[in-house]
Structure 1
């Protein structure tokens, strides 16, 4: 007769892992069954590979729809990891038991098709911590239904806020047989389950019943194989339902599992991070302090009576503070350890836990400040570890190509966020930039491009890098486009080009292809762009296309890419936009004028990138817009400003236009819109041309009180865009207007008032004799 032992554990619980290790050593089972989809069986042997370093996660995804995926994370302190590694090291058989993921994914598709539940339930996380649910890891899958964390409930009943603290005090410190500990826990959890009054047709209850029926079916099959002793490692909440003595009839379980749909799935291992094991990341089976739990597990497994877990932890805290150039002396560590023990005694705890250690560290090592402790929390309490997976793990060609490229570039992903500055003049760094741009096009956002500062050069890029486990799903989804990063990115861009809804989107795709060094992608986008621009009649989209195309031509020249076809499209687009601009600007309302003004600014920015573009046509179009009284003031004022910046309108002409636009014959709202178009961007005009400032000041003073309330928001928006020093300078000039002498319409300085300043500057320059 087969002897079956149920070991109910808390997922990612170091105390549970330690007890599992002790129980397995005492039981010596010839078969170990671990909670998890049976699909994991084909990759479980890889956990014995020395290159498999936790944290890692089993990844199961629907082969035809990779967005349907689940992660099954394991750390070195996870009971499942301990059980599997024990079985592999002793030669015992090991399998996963749970509802197959093939059924889970198919049921999820059916639920999505049916819509959300009407009662609004089923939205909580998998509180029992079962990695078999994937833990609600976004964005690969939705959060899993609620199931009570039975061990946490027992801890709460005993007055503990941390389930691991309760396990340590109530279980680890007991000198009892480890198998008896699990038996006692199972009895307590059976009482918790008996108090669950949810009806049998509740969605969460139905989902849990399916899982447990599937587990019992696999346990029965294992028992029929004739094993002498079987150990079942499962979530504590499931333990009472998996006791063979309490099994329901086989027919009852078969009825629960009958007719379940199936989907084709694939399975592999992917690296995981300590941060993604934390509950704050959204992982339903997560723990609050993965780094602390790793420390606890290491200490318990070492079984060294000469060391204390609290002392060794505080030593690590001191080292972390010293790395941040903060004082943390040995004497302070000793004092912090004493305080932690005192706090534990005051709070009625057998030994200090993380709460006492944090309080002691903040009070003694951090001088009461929580900020240094935040660094410790990030580095130690949560941890920065990123696991590794052996090359022998099943992988898609696209993922293999990415890994090979990373090795060639000597570039290892990391779980810690880092800022990387690339100098594109260096071949290796240019290759890294190309890889990041290709991945970005595919939606694999390993790096996010940041601003490079004030530099306008094209040889520098700044990226913020952080590898997230979910990127493995993005790679799976992108694999349908190609077997290499380059081919997949090119195919993906070509597909997006066909579905692009605007010329701006096509232009941005083209720029992305250039940065990602995708000649095939450029060709496909250029073909679609040429067809769309030829058919585009609206001027605003044509104007918005100019800047991306100009950037493409500029970067193409820098990177040595042939952009002849792009340049032809750009030249044609500029000519068509210039011809149609005056007509397109007529009869615009406020909203349409705002759109046109943004398009004009975008085109101006693009045209400034390439000096050999037909600027004469552009300036003639702007002159036609600026000189028309029938065009909305925001657009006409902006055209005037661009002509003024280009030197095609002098100061006298600008002052005359401003005076005419701000005359009493022009409605105040129209005048304010024209003024906003003229001044938007910076205050240089008003600061260095007192005539314009005086015209604006006089106009503002003359606006009727009834109309001023309508004009004020626009004026406020105009002047709020100026920097604080610019606004202060304008205010000071207005307050000094009494010192400006008007002579024949010209503004001159009061030399008598400027005398002291002139003499001071002459003294600095050594010209005293000339003053």
Structure 2
């Protein structure tokens, strides 16, 4: 209809709903591209990031308008607001169409139409009203149907503020074009939802004076970065079943429909499904295909369609080829995405409808500077045309440069290389990386163009992307250690200075003690020991450590809770201990100040038992041990089920001090613990035993043996301490068996069935096996 209208009217101007900031570069769209392609638009400032894609296929009305308008000698202009404008950039999904109309505003009308025509979705409704007309349909009949349809679904409903801003801007272009067209017509190609409003606004503008110039194209604010580029696209990206929010379903089917007719599209879909099923070994007989074809034709006649629509063909295939019960509705009956667990025949049907077309830009298409920068860098590093795995020695400067480049591409989401091994974090003693080249399947060029939104050079683009990730994380989510390690792997140099400064400030807002401790441990390890990335003693990393220690002490002192041990929180205090030991010059918290805070935590009855024990351990590790008297009282007053938690916290932070203290002649902490545990009643001991076992698991075998030796000394017993660590069964099981024996003995005594006192005094003929 668009092509017919342009050829018939020969308009002076063809105005197309598209980003007006592309008007100076429309010649790029006229190059000999292989479709589909898309106009990728981006915007970034200190507060907002927006990206969007406007896809173009062979059958897109915008594409037809551009090509036919140019061929007819008309002046073609895009007339919508730029994609970065707040009225347009309202979607956050990766493949969200910036021109997606608010379907909710006319949901009621379309629901009633679907009910009237007995179809499940708006897409099926569209097929039955418009696509089914076939290639020989009268364009005027099609125009009348479209006018009626959009007049009904939009009516005189008031659009929201964003759509009103867009419609007023498009109407100003219509007004300017009419003033310049003279007696020649002006053709506007726009989404049908906007048509009624544009007609009303254009009539109102006609009463105003003719504008002296075209409407101004809004420019990004000062300090913001924005622009548009052409990128290759694919049918899979466009397909609504694959998750594209405003895409169309089954673009491969509609490509066949565009190239042939409804009959050719149906037959082509049947053939594609057959090929896919047989290629995957799914049984499919000729009789089944005949049944599917017959069923599709019968459904079309039953539904009053002159030709088979897409849904007729799909329903016919499903009815003839799927004999199993389906546990979910067919995707074309709900309009949803294709998720996991669908029937394999349904999956192949949807894939056949999608098609596998991948676009390609003409070699003369202007590209963002980043594309050229990456090509030059990879060539200079010997990574441009390799198909063999790349092994990098991170202790060598040349290999570190290669590693930084590959990590920057990874952070930007550019396919091509995949790291299969290497250090997992800053504490991992691994000094080699292995990267494997992976086919990008046409997506590398598009990903590089899209990454050009972050900067002109690879290093600055990666730094901008990392900064965006940190902003998106939010203060409550914390500053994850993997983000910091990504910054280090990408090269924490001058370009990451702002990122690390902001990172240090963000640390002061983290509310999760465990996440904070994870980040502090990784950062401190890099600051102390790094031999690979060049960040040892780095001032910016030191700022992160300083903020993290302040925050750990503050959060720990305010943490209250019930039973159980939060091991992540204990690791946070352990990391703070290491910072206070090995980097005191970085910190605003002194060891004495930290010890005073730890004393308050250790005496706070509302603090979790594990945290109280860790606080006592922190004082000990910092050289400020508590007086033994209060410790004995605290342990004696601790409930049996919390005693192990208290010790877990202590051993997590001060294991070395406890192990060293074990050799003391008297009054060691192990002596105190032994006295408290030995005094526990049997039921309380059994309740506390699992937590006690968890606590002593912090000691390696050699230190556990020293503790066992100390316990033997306290009991004046001789024997092998090592044998105590090698019980024939689970100690908890042995303790339960002993308790069971004692219960049985008491029960027998109660009923007078137990052994006599003389029998008890006599030596047992055999040792008791369970003990």
Which bracket does the TM-score occupy, shorter chain normalised? Answer: 0.5 to 0.7
Counterpart contact for 1:217–1:253, Cα < 8 Å: no
CA distance in 2, matches of 1:555, 1:328: 63
CA deviations on 1:502-538 (whole Å, 9 max, x unpaired) are: 9x959766533332244546888899999999xxxxx
CA distance in 2, matches of 1:526, 1:245: 51
Instruction: Name the CA shift for 1:734/1:27 in 2 (closer, same or farther; >3 Å).
Output: farther
TM-fit CA distance, 1:391: 5.7
CA distance in 1, matches of 2:202, 2:461: 53
Q: Which residue of 1 aligns with 2:252?
A: 291
Q: 2:127 aligns with which of 139, 160, 165?
A: 165
1:679 aligns with 2:689: no
Q: 1:438 aligns with which of 386, 401, 408?
A: 408
TM-fit CA distance, 1:240: 5.9
CA distance in 2, matches of 1:107, 1:61: 13
TM-fit CA distance, 1:435: 4.4
Partner secondary structure for residue 229 of structure 2:
strand
1:565 aligns with 2:537: yes
Aligned pairs for 1:678-697 within 5 A: 679=694
CA distance in 1, matches of 2:297, 2:529: 63
1:315 aligns with 2:289: no
CA distance in 2, matches of 1:339, 1:740: 75
CA deviations on 1:149-204 (whole Å, 9 max, x unpaired) are: 9999877755554144224565326x4543x23442355257537x83446x9747
Instruction: Name the CA shift for 1:403/1:192 in 2 (closer, same or farther; >3 Å).
Output: farther
Q: Which residue of 1 aligns with 2:621?
A: 621
Q: 1:639 aligns with which of 650, 654, 674?
A: 650
Counterpart contact for 1:32–1:92, Cα < 8 Å: no
1:105 aligns with 2:78: no
Aligned pairs for 1:114-129 within 5 A: none
Aligned pairs for 1:209-608 within 5 A: 210-211=168-169, 213-224=171-182, 231-239=187-195, 247-248=203-204, 250-252=206-208, 262-264=218-220, 266-279=227-240, 285-300=246-261, 308-368=264-324, 370-376=342-348, 379-382=351-354, 386-390=358-362, 392-398=364-370, 400-402=372-374, 409=383, 434-435=404-405, 437-438=407-408, 458=430, 459=432, 475=451, 478-479=454-455, 483-489=456-462, 511-520=485-494, 547-549=521-523, 552=526, 556-557=530-531, 560-565=532-537, 590-591=560-561, 598-601=568-571
Instruction: Name the CA shift for 1:516/1:285 in 2 (closer, same or farther; >3 Å).
Output: closer
Q: Which residue of 2 aligns with 1:135?
A: 100
Counterpart contact for 1:547–1:603, Cα < 8 Å: no
1:96 aligns with 2:77: yes
Counterpart contact for 1:622–1:643, Cα < 8 Å: no
Quote the RMSD (CA, aligned, Å). Answer: 6.8
CA distance in 2, matches of 1:636, 1:547: 22
CA distance in 2, matches of 1:584, 1:190: 60
Structure 1 stretch 391-400 or stretch 593-602: which is displaced more?
593-602
TM-fit CA distance, 1:737: 4.7
1:57 aligns with 2:39: yes
Partner secondary structure for residue 516 of structure 1:
helix
Q: 2:18 aligns with which of 8, 29, 36?
A: 36
TM-fit CA distance, 1:656: 7.0
Question: 5+ residue gaps in structure 1?
Answer: 1-18, 113-122, 137-142, 413-419, 534-538, 693-727, 742-748, 755-771
TM-fit CA distance, 1:79: 1.5
Counterpart contact for 2:251–2:354, Cα < 8 Å: yes
Q: Which residue of 1 aligns with 2:145?
A: 185
Q: Which residue of 1 aligns with 2:62?
A: 80
CA distance in 1, matches of 2:155, 2:505: 65
CA distance in 1, matches of 2:200, 2:562: 73
Task: State the TM-score, normalizing by the size of structure 1.
Answer: 0.59
CA distance in 1, matches of 2:740, 2:78: 90
Counterpart contact for 2:518–2:572, Cα < 8 Å: yes
TM-fit CA distance, 1:685: 11
CA deviations on 1:2-27 (whole Å, 9 max, x unpaired) are: xxxxxxxxxxxxxxxxx434555666
CA distance in 1, matches of 2:484, 2:160: 52
Instruction: Name the CA shift for 1:729/1:625 in 2 (closer, same or farther; >3 Å).
Output: farther
Instruction: Name the CA shift for 1:34/1:642 in 2 (closer, same or farther; >3 Å).
Output: closer
Counterpart contact for 1:318–1:329, Cα < 8 Å: no
CA distance in 2, matches of 1:478, 1:79: 31
Instruction: Name the CA shift for 1:98/1:621 in 2 (closer, same or farther; >3 Å).
Output: same
CA distance in 1, matches of 2:10, 2:277: 44
CA distance in 1, matches of 2:346, 2:730: 43
Question: 5+ residue gaps in structure 2?
Answer: 221-225, 327-341, 508-512, 584-616, 636-641, 708-728, 743-765
Instruction: Name the CA shift for 1:338/1:677 in 2 (closer, same or farther; >3 Å).
Output: farther
Counterpart contact for 2:452–2:461, Cα < 8 Å: no
Q: Which residue of 2 aligns with 1:722?
A: none
Partner secondary structure for residue 308 of structure 1:
helix
TM-fit CA distance, 1:606: 12
Partner secondary structure for residue 190 of structure 2:
strand
Counterpart contact for 1:77–1:294, Cα < 8 Å: yes
Instruction: Name the CA shift for 1:245/1:106 in 2 (closer, same or farther; >3 Å).
Output: closer
TM-fit CA distance, 1:489: 4.0
CA deviations on 1:58-81 (whole Å, 9 max, x unpaired) are: 526589987356543222221111
Instruction: Name the CA shift for 1:492/1:587 in 2 (closer, same or farther; >3 Å).
Output: closer
Partner secondary structure for residue 43 of structure 1:
helix
TM-fit CA distance, 1:548: 0.7
TM-fit CA distance, 1:372: 0.6
CA distance in 1, matches of 2:41, 2:348: 31
CA distance in 1, matches of 2:556, 2:78: 71
CA distance in 1, matches of 2:689, 2:575: 20
Instruction: Name the CA shift for 1:243/1:495 in 2 (closer, same or farther; >3 Å).
Output: closer
Instruction: Name the CA shift for 1:382/1:514 in 2 (closer, same or farther; >3 Å).
Output: same
CA deviations on 1:253-304 (whole Å, 9 max, x unpaired) are: 989x99999444643323444355345678664323333333332333xx9x
Instruction: Name the CA shift for 1:474/1:604 in 2 (closer, same or farther; >3 Å).
Output: farther
Q: 2:29 aligns with which of 47, 53, 70?
A: 47
